[in-house]
Structure 1
Amino acid sequence: MRAPSIGRLTATTVARPDLPITILQFGAGNFLRAFVDWMVSRANEDGVTRDGIAVVQVTDRPSRALDQLADQDGLFHVYLEGIRDRQPVKEVDLVTSVRAVLSAHRDVEEYERLVVSPDLKVVVSNTTEAGIEYVHGDDLAARPPRSFPAKVTALLHRRFAHFGGSPDAGLSFLCCELIEDNGSTLREYVLRHAAENGLGAAFEDWVRTACRFYDTLVDRIVPGFPQEEIGQVQAEIGFADELVVKAEHFYVWAIAGDPRIREDLPLDQAGLNVLFMEDIRPFRAKKVRILNGSHTAMSAVGLHMGCGTVRDAFADPQVEAYITRMVAQEVLPTIPGDRSDLEAFAQQILERFYNPFLQHALTDISLNALSKWTTRNLPVVLDRWAESAEAPLTILSLAALLVLYSGHSGNPDFQPRDDEREVEFLRTTFDRRDVPAWVRGAVGRLLLPGPVDAAVLARLSAETARAVELIFERGMAGALGEYLA
């Protein structure tokens, strides 16, 4: 509920800059508002950019958030809570970059006018992982088409026709969907729709040469609307903001592709943590190994230690030392790049784990942990071995995970949320009298469906089995004590 005696947040109660709409944003959710809209607002305030955003709802479902955003004239606050130098910090920003709010289905004429605006230069999207899908036979003549890639195809074809195929009318696409090669995939689907609908070779060539589709990686935890404490938050900011969104202080936006985007959206010049690069893959690998790999290892070990959240885990001196040392000694040496830069990046990542404002449950992180370990942590082990080095701390996380899944750990309340066949296999084949055989069977299944190297299978099984035995004999605290000695 609203805090008493405070006014509504609208363009009549606060000043906002007069900005041209240069960015079309598909999606009105918490993440884009606390990420892209917040960054653009910051850059505008610093005088680096003069970009206004039109927020467009992609689906035809009623949206309370979209209606509220329109009622507040696109204005809202981002309430940042996080850690800086291991100290909690709070910051509240009024976001003033959103200039228009509309539905592609209800506000068809306004939407179509925006599509051909000469001011438009960037399209941003977050339509969820399922949003970038190819729907065969999608009707491009519909107003609008059903799927997001078909909407983009129709948008671009309208713009192509309006500007007579001028290369200057091309747009830059920044996809925030959490799929690999998000921009490249959207481009592929747009070209498939163009070919399927016979839009012509000239249009396809214009899409390839005049438009730019960027692969991106986004990172910021956005808990969203602070329902439990909204009265307190509204009193603090001084407005009855019905769309205030909470987010962590940390963020990064990695953007790969044509350098033109640095002209279209020079957010880095405002001191924002936006990284431009030629290829997203090295950055993605770095992030997956350091952040996601740490999460997977932490959940496996922390759940043995009675920790409920990431914050609990990093409040435990043994778990904190374990993760910190694993990253420094085993993970970072497997990542190409300047060591000091990698250490600084890792420090940024690990500092997030101290955030007292975020309750990130280890049981949630442990979802599908077997496949996650294979994707995030196994490559570290294999790369270390390829360099004739060891990875005992990373292997300890696999041992901790297998013991949890065995049903015989010191945490009887833990229930795996994973492939039921794998969970059943680990529980029904567990034999405390022959741990090596049990581990070998488990590791063999982990390494599938790819080709299984006999030497890798034997070594990983043997080293994991030794760690499993130690956990059963001395408990996780005792095992950590030995591995960290």
Structure 2
Amino acid sequence: MTPRLSRATLAALADGRGHAVPGPAVDPASTTVGLVHLGLGAFHRAHQAVYTEDAAAAAGDTGWGILGVTQRSARVAEHLAPQDGLYGVLTKGATHTSLRLIGSLRDVAFPGERTPHVLRTIAAPSTHVVTLTVTEKGYRRRPDGLPDLTDPDLGSDVAALAAEIGGAPPEQPARSPIGLLVRGLALRHRQDAGPLTVVCCDNLAENGRVVGALVHELLAAVPHAQSLAQWVRASVAFPSTMVDRIVPATTDAHRTEATALLGLRDEGLVVGEPFTQWVVEDTFAGPRPAWERAGATLTADVAPFERAKLRVLNASHSTLAYLGALRGYATIAEAVADPELEAIVRALVDEDVLPTLEAPEGLDLVRYRDDVLDRFANPNTGHTTVQVAMDGSAKLPQRLLGTVRDRLAAGAVPTAAAATLAAWMSYVHATTHGGLEVAGRKVSLDDPLADALASAADGPVDGLVDRLLAVREVFGADLAASSELRSAVRAHVRTLALV
């Protein structure tokens, strides 16, 4: 059997016949932990961990090793611990593949087994940053954004936090990422270990403010936490960020390809597209990695970058998903290769999206549009039209309806954006009336409002637009009342042969 990647096997390989795979850029043996990451999934390993390693190498700083903390299971920790935290990032472009090794992950932990170790590391004076990729659901929020204290996992951590504030040892296993974070902050406060920066890297609008508010609200609900809450307000920063890199699921074929390149078996392998972007609000409470030396953008305001991503990239993605599925295309790469569909996306961006955006410093929006289309054409990203089409009622308000409202407010009819809405409505109709097959498989509607949308789609097709625009959870009262939008969407639905 091919030997498994580890510091020992990598050294033996280099001492023998050598290999052409670069990395690690830092020496794992001399790198100490200065950053704790909560949510040790593939995205972090293909994104923030790479930036952190490259920043440390560029600055010659050995203090930015990472303690990676898993969430629900020990599986990722079990894959990486025997490899001394080493793993590969396989970059798959449309025509080129490369592999590099990452060594900045210096320790891995599963909270179910090593919560005290994680808390002590968050509280260590040598730790200056905590980053998170725990997905939106991981924050255990109510619909109004407040912490969901009825969640049993968060409730368990709140009870543990209250006991620890009262003097109990921090030993109870953490059951939620936000609970683990706040318990770590509490221990850091008790040990007077200095300020800390918490960097959310999840796809949430104004994510730093969201997490900061969640922490403050949680502390407000805990008895005798006033001193801790005051310290958090004074000593903990929550910068917002915007992250972007497509990270497909790692397959056996990817592992075989990486083994052939490296000569070692890697159970921690992750895969990424060539494009990567990280925009970070430059608001820190203490030291940080020199991420800008690794290509990250440090800025006073993340919002323009975030808005550009939502309105250019995400809206285009949804447009290709709905139109592509309606034409039977299985993947986004197939959809964007259709000249008619690519032209529709270009019209959306050029005619309706770009007029609503102010270009952030250093970002050419036209080039960004072209980069987005090039990325979508990469068949190795693995994005399917049906996958991207999921949850349209939740995605479209964020990705598209802000553009629609801005164009209407400017006195313009968002004709191109209406084409996306027509595609979505046609997709809803087709998937709720048994008439859509993609790649030989019948597709049903996968959406949190599926029942309400199916009910609205039921009825004479010439009233489809009216009934779906009346779904207030999606469109609100203002868009439902817009005769200009209604007429534009109706015209596009007719071209899709429903009416």
**Which bin holds the TM-score, normalised by the shorter protein?**
0.7 to 0.9
Distance change in 2, residues 1:32/1:389 (3 Å): same
Alpha-carbon RMSD across the aligned residues, in angstroms, is: 2.8
- Which deviations, in whole Å up to 9, do the C-alpha atoms of 1:262-288 show, x marking residues without a partner? x51221113x2x222333333222211
Residue 348 of structure 2 is aligned to residue 337 of structure 1: no
Asked whether the equivalents of residues 225 and 244 of structure 1 are also in contact (C-alpha less than 8 Å), the reply is yes
Residue 98 of structure 2 is aligned to residue 102 of structure 1: no
Residue from 115, 139, 146 that aligns with 2:160 = 139
Residues matched between the structures, number:
452
**Paired amino acid for 1:310:** I
* Deviation of 1:79 (Å): 0.4
Task: Name 1:246's counterpart in structure 2.
Answer: 271
Q: Secondary structure at the match of 1:246?
A: strand
CA distance in 2, matches of 1:105, 1:91: 35
Task: Name 1:14's counterpart in structure 2.
Answer: 10
Task: Name 1:35's counterpart in structure 2.
Answer: 47
Task: Name 1:161's counterpart in structure 2.
Answer: 190
Structure 1 residues 50-449: aligned runs within 5 Å: 50=62, 51-59=64-72, 61=73, 63-82=74-93, 88-108=95-115, 110-133=117-140, 134=147, 135=149, 136=155, 137-140=158-161, 141=164, 143-144=171-172, 145-163=174-192, 169-256=194-281, 258=283, 264-270=288-294, 272=295, 274-337=296-359, 341-407=364-430, 411=436, 413-418=442-447, 419-431=449-461, 435=462, 437-445=463-471
Q: Secondary structure at the match of 1:214?
A: coil
- Which deviations, in whole Å up to 9, do the C-alpha atoms of 1:108-158 show, x marking residues without a partner? 554344233221111112223222223354321352443322322221222
Asked whether the equivalents of residues 56 and 104 of structure 1 are also in contact (C-alpha less than 8 Å), the reply is yes
CA distance in 1, matches of 2:421, 2:120: 55
Asked whether the equivalents of residues 34 and 127 of structure 2 are also in contact (C-alpha less than 8 Å), the reply is yes
CA distance in 2, matches of 1:157, 1:423: 45
Moved more, 313-322 or 363-372: 363-372
CA distance in 2, matches of 1:210, 1:260: 6
* Deviation of 1:414 (Å): 4.3
CA distance in 2, matches of 1:378, 1:191: 31
Q: Secondary structure at the match of 1:440?
A: helix
TM-score scaled by length of structure 1: 0.84
CA distance in 2, matches of 1:48, 1:349: 34
Asked whether the equivalents of residues 304 and 410 of structure 1 are also in contact (C-alpha less than 8 Å), the reply is no
Distance change in 2, residues 1:13/1:199 (3 Å): farther
CA distance in 1, matches of 2:334, 2:344: 14
Q: Secondary structure at the match of 1:119?
A: coil
* Deviation of 1:360 (Å): 1.0
Task: Name 2:17's counterpart in structure 1.
Answer: none
Q: Secondary structure at the match of 1:13?
A: helix
Distance change in 2, residues 1:229/1:193 (3 Å): closer
Percent identity between matched residues is 26
Distance change in 2, residues 1:345/1:104 (3 Å): same
Moved more, 361-370 or 251-260: 251-260
**Paired amino acid for 2:9:** T
**Paired amino acid for 2:171:** R
TM-score scaled by length of structure 2: 0.82
CA distance in 1, matches of 2:71, 2:425: 43
Give 5+ residue unaligned stretches, structure 2: 12-26, 141-146, 150-154, 165-169
CA distance in 1, matches of 2:408, 2:219: 47
CA distance in 2, matches of 1:184, 1:459: 36
Moved more, 249-258 or 334-343: 334-343
* Deviation of 1:464 (Å): 1.7
CA distance in 2, matches of 1:321, 1:279: 32
Structure 1 residues 442-481: aligned runs within 5 Å: 442-445=468-471, 450-452=476-478, 456=482, 458-472=483-497
**Paired amino acid for 2:90:** Y
Asked whether the equivalents of residues 404 and 414 of structure 1 are also in contact (C-alpha less than 8 Å), the reply is no
**Paired amino acid for 1:337:** A
- Which deviations, in whole Å up to 9, do the C-alpha atoms of 1:407-441 show, x marking residues without a partner? 4898454433233334433442124xxx2x44223
Task: Name 1:481's counterpart in structure 2.
Answer: none
